[in-house]
Amino acid sequence: MSTFKQEAIYQQAKKWVKEAGALIRQAIDQPREIDTKADANDLVTEMDKKIEQFFAEHIRHTYPTDRILSEEGFGDEVNDLTGTVWIIDPIDGTMNFVHQKRTFSISLAVYHNGIGEIGFVYDVMADILYHAKKGAGAYKNEKKLSPIADHKNLSESILMLNTFWCTSNNKVNDKKIRKLVQTVRGTRTYGSAALEFAYLAEGIVDSYISFKLHPWDLAAGVILFNEVGGKTVQANGKPLTFLNQDPMVSAHPDIIDEIINDYIELK
């Protein structure tokens, strides 16, 4: 029998996520120390680090045997998902945090033996918390999210994508992506992958493709979307690993195979 205490951990994590969000809101207009990581547009600030440290210290104190997989270096070296692993992005959408001062999120997930048990995506400035426990549905604040639509056609769907399809090293057939963009009803780019998953769970968009997300960008969002009947896989159709930067597709089950088979060709 599993010893994973889903409800107790969920309540504790929720408190921390809300507290961390309040710290960010209080400091939103302060001057930022901005650094870059993988490339000149991959941003990190003192706040990303401060918030990750906040989570790491609390988790290590309260759950000393759990491990942390996180973006800014305060976590552990995690190469597998055995036991309890917290997967955290302290600020998802740092470019939005710096430039827009909105539409960024805290993404926190708890996996137990590879299963996504608890997911939080917190839209900090709007004070909207998307949350889910495996098997108990997904919520937007107090409101339970409905299962996604019974049927969906690609031509009537909204696709989310970012520019990584043309800027990343993961080479993808851009003619096919162009065709996909022409086929769907419209496209959106919000700039926070975790929030983009939350919007999928909310049913206001229908698919999301991205070619180099990190585990912390998607670990919580995938749990939310699963709870309402959504599907997320690697762009080659295989299950996600939650350990690598796998190109991925997340969509309504009616359209995911069509997107993968007809419009995504990895080179």
What are the residues binding ligand 2AM (CB under 6 A)? 38-39, 42, 89, 92-94, 162, 191-193, 212-213, 217
The pairing of strands 231-234 and 34-36 is unpaired
Residues 6+ apart with CB under 8 A from 181: 159, 161, 187
DSSP state string for 57-68:
HHHHHH-TT-EE
User: With CB under 5 A as the contact rule, which of the stretches 81-89, 167-175, 222-230, 239-247 interacts with Ca ion?
Assistant: 81-89
From the list Ca ion, ligand 2AM, none, which binds 123 (C-beta under 5 to 8 Å, kind-based)?
A: none
Task: Give phi and psi for 22, each to the nearest 5.
Answer: -65, -40
The option from ligand 2AM, Ca ion, none interacting with 227 (CB < 5 to 8 A, set by class) reads: none
Tokens matching residue 197: 């998953």
196 near Ca ion, rule: CB under 5 A: no
Q: Do 169 and 175 form a contact (C-beta atoms < 8 A)?
A: no
The SS3 assignment for 249 reads strand
The window from 2-10, 86-94, 150-158, 194-202 that contacts Ca ion (CB under 5 A) reads 86-94
CB atoms under 10 Å from CB of 64, counted, come to: 7
Q: Does 71 contact Ca ion by CB under 5 A?
A: yes
Of the pair 35, 156, the CB lying nearest ligand 2AM is at: 35
- When CB distances are held under 5 to 8 angstroms depending on the partner's kind, the choice from Ca ion, ligand 2AM, none that residue 259 binds is none
- Residue 42 interacting entry, from Ca ion, ligand 2AM, none, C-beta within 5 to 8 Å by type: ligand 2AM
Residue nearer to ligand 2AM on the CB measure, 12 or 234: 234
| DSSP label at residue 37 | S
Q: Does 227 bind Ca ion (CB under 5 A)?
A: no
Q: How far is the CB of 156 from Ca ion (least distance, A)?
A: 33
What is the DSSP code string of 71-125? SSSSS----S--SEEEEEEEEE-HHHHHHTSSS-EEEEEEEETTEEEEEEEEETT
Burial 237-256 (b: 16+ CB within 10 A, else e): eeebebbebbbbbbbbebbb
The item of ligand 2AM, Ca ion, none sharing an interface with residue 93, based on CB under 5 to 8 Å by kind, is ligand 2AM
User: CB under 5 A: which stretch of 90-98, 156-164, 184-192, 254-262 binds Ca ion?
Assistant: 90-98
Task: Using the minimum distance from each CB to ligand 2AM, give the nearer residue, 155 or 169.
Answer: 169
Query: Of 119 and 203, which has the nearer Cβ to Ca ion?
Result: 119
**Where does this chain bind Ca ion (CB under 5 A)?**
71, 89, 91
